[in-house]
Structure 1
């Protein structure tokens, strides 16, 4: 057999995503390139690793065993690389962070310079909803989590990064008469929610409950980008974080609707389990963010803080 490390990585990603297309996207490769490498890899085995039924790819039992072995091989190769970097006196290893979906607009800026300074570090950043973020933190699967609402069910320590501001927004094409009575705003306009488990949805529901607002029509979408596009298209209104709609506001695709009780403000906070013993990589990035936080905010988020 003469398979390569690249083929092992591609096959493992196909198994993880259950899709050649998704594997190609995750690896930043073209779909034909991934298909060719998969075929070349499979040709080295007498037993099928995959089978295609209809247009869907399925992994055989033997394929799953090969994937497990591939995962172990790749982990060992990464360990060799980390040890090589450490021997040279360079910081190396994995940094695992789980962030809520709106966090993708801020977390990369707090990590960029650190990652440039330490090329031996592998960043694994999962962008998902609040429930899944807290689940990964609870299971100690990540070094840090980025949230906009501090959990009450976990004992955590925190580092506040940036204020989160949420406004009611509508399509830039809608004529708005300046009405600030919240109840009247929602009488004939559908409210577009994020899915259950989203921190933004939790904030919206709390605002509606605290202000005794009756929402007659609702929609539910599973990402902030989907909500934003639906609002731009005129399907309804939503309460959204300002950080993610900057360009849409500047292009007049969206407009902020001023109503009583808004904006809602929380904080994006980096949190970790209380008492957690950080790895050298996690300790280094935490120290970096603590030291550079104010400068990063001034350089990258001046428009937002003003």
Structure 2
């Protein structure tokens, strides 16, 4: 047997995502590179690790056993690395976060200085929709989760990071842009939705339901970036978080449409299970957030605060 740690890492990610494409994305590798490493690992066994039926990849029973062994092996390797760093007096270990998809515009700035100060920390960051974020927290798979809508059925503690504002936006390329209107304008526009389980969709649907609006759903897309590009292309309108559309607003690719009752407001919260026992790394990160969040917001998000203030004036 000549399999490598790299092959085991890739195979484990494939078993977790049930997809070569998704595994490649999460590992920041190309799809062909992941496929080659899977084949090289498979060539060392005469029993299939995976099988493809239709367009869906399935892990065989034997593959599932190998994945369990791979996870244990990789865990031991990480432990060796962490113990070595700890022996040198460095804070080391894994910091595991799950973040709602629009949170990817926020979380890097709250992590950057912390990770630079502690080179021995390995970050495991899952960017996904709200439903999956809450699921990973409930299963205690992560240390913290970043959400803009607090879970209703989970007992958590939290620290507020910064405000989240959602506006109705349309393409800045439209020859006759929609003017300021009351909320009934949403009934006249083709609206682009995020997928079920998205925090943005949840907030948008609450607004629509509150005002008993009959909104035409033009399409449903599974990421904020996809929605943004569809709106830029003139395929419809959507209620989107300001945090993710800064460049498009500055470039004139998107425009905000003033509507009564907007923007919708929520707060980015870092949450964790109540009574959770923190690792030294997780405890240090929470302390970092408590001490540095005000400075980070002032340094990195002053444009956000200024924009919101200008819209309210």
Whether TM-score is above 0.5 comes out as yes
How many residues align structurally? 305
For 2:18 and 2:141, how far apart are their aligned partners in 1?
22
Q: Do 2:137 and 2:145's aligned partners in 1 also have CA atoms closer than 8 Å? A: yes
Aligned-residue RMSD, C-alpha: 2.2
2:177 is paired with a residue whose SS is coil
Q: Does 1:294 find its partner at 2:294? A: yes
Q: Do 2:178 and 2:257's aligned partners in 1 also have CA atoms closer than 8 Å? A: no
For 1:71 and 1:129, how far apart are their aligned partners in 2?
25
**In the alignment, what sits opposite 1:64?**
64
Q: Relative to structure 1, is the Cα distance of residues 14 and 199 closer, same or farther in structure 2, using a 3 angstrom cutoff? A: closer
Shift of 1:237: 1.2
Structure 2: tracts of 5 or more residues without a match: 307-313
Structure 1: tracts of 5 or more residues without a match: none
For 1:21 and 1:154, how far apart are their aligned partners in 2?
32
Q: Relative to structure 1, is the Cα distance of residues 220 and 122 closer, same or farther in structure 2, using a 3 angstrom cutoff? A: same
For 1:51 and 1:289, how far apart are their aligned partners in 2?
44
**In the alignment, what sits opposite 1:149?**
149
**In the alignment, what sits opposite 1:173?**
173
**In the alignment, what sits opposite 2:183?**
182
**In the alignment, what sits opposite 2:88?**
88
For 2:232 and 2:22, how far apart are their aligned partners in 1?
28
For 1:21 and 1:212, how far apart are their aligned partners in 2?
40
1:247 is paired with a residue whose SS is helix
Q: Provide the TM-score with structure 1 as the length reference.
A: 0.91
For 1:252 and 1:148, how far apart are their aligned partners in 2?
27
**In the alignment, what sits opposite 1:112?**
112
**In the alignment, what sits opposite 2:138?**
138
1:192 is paired with a residue whose SS is strand
Q: Relative to structure 1, is the Cα distance of residues 208 and 61 closer, same or farther in structure 2, using a 3 angstrom cutoff? A: closer
Q: Provide the TM-score with structure 2 as the length reference.
A: 0.89
Q: Relative to structure 1, is the Cα distance of residues 43 and 192 closer, same or farther in structure 2, using a 3 angstrom cutoff? A: closer
For 1:139 and 1:301, how far apart are their aligned partners in 2?
32
**In the alignment, what sits opposite 2:311?**
none
